[in-house]
A and B are shown apart, each in its own frame.
Chain A
Amino acid sequence: GQQVMQIPQYQHVQEGEDFTTYCNSSTTLSNIQWYKQRPGGHPVFLIQLVKSGEVKKQKRLTFQFGEAKKNSSLHITATQTTDVGTYFCAGRNFNKFYFGSGTKLNVKP
């Protein structure tokens, strides 16, 4: 069945260091979304990528969709303590949404 895996599962960084999480799908996706979930909170939408090879930026966050539309990445430049949380990718294949396993980011001040 459809699987969406994320690596790494956990990442501990010092404030100011960069961070990258990778999302890989077993099948081609129509699009991909990224969500952030703070501890104790619910997932909050960050961005959606639709086109093959698409790159989008939000301040210190850079999102990329692979050429084959089966993988994606989220890169955070110069992390801050406010970046703490779990980052999920989610993809749509036909009428179903599949969430990645998530990457939990901890930022040490």
Chain B
Amino acid sequence: SAVISQKPSRDICQRGTSLTIQCQVDSQVTMMFWYRQQPGQSLTLIATANQGSEATYESGFVIDKFPISRPNLTFSTLTVSNMSPEDSSIYLCSVVPSGMGDTQYFGPGTRLTVL
């Protein structure tokens, strides 16, 4: 298994500002993902965070809006840029530890409210 922490756990931000969310894993993992979950909804994959290269974004998500860094195999950041109220959501990182098939372990999430 893997233990994942996220910072901050929640934040309230003003429109037009940016917030960077950190995801830290207690072991080296190859696959790391960022998801968005609207209240009462399912999870939507934003991007795959690739170590040493640019993230792979899903349709509807772009690097300028959601820049992602992955400097090593245990850490990643997601920035929500130029925020609007529509960005209010829970943002979750997940990892797939080596040898665990496709089992994803999720961080506790960051609850973002944009005013």
A interface residue numbers (CB < 8 A to B): 1, 30-31, 33, 35, 41-45, 48, 50, 88, 90, 92, 95-102, 104
Contact = CB atoms under 8 A, between A and B. Distances in A.
Size class of the contact patch on chain B: 20 to 34
B99 interface: no
Given A48-B103, A88-B43, A104-B40, 14 more contacts: A30-B102, A33-B103, A35-B104, A43-B106, A48-B102, A50-B101, A90-B104, A95-B48, A96-B45, A96-B58, A97-B45, A99-B43, A101-B42, A102-B41
A25 B48 CA distance: 22
A35 B15 CA distance: 33
A96 to B, nearest CB: 7
Contacts of A96: 45, 58
A86 to B, nearest CB: 9
Contacts of A97: 33, 45, 102, 104
B102 A100 contact: no
Contacts of B92: 42-43
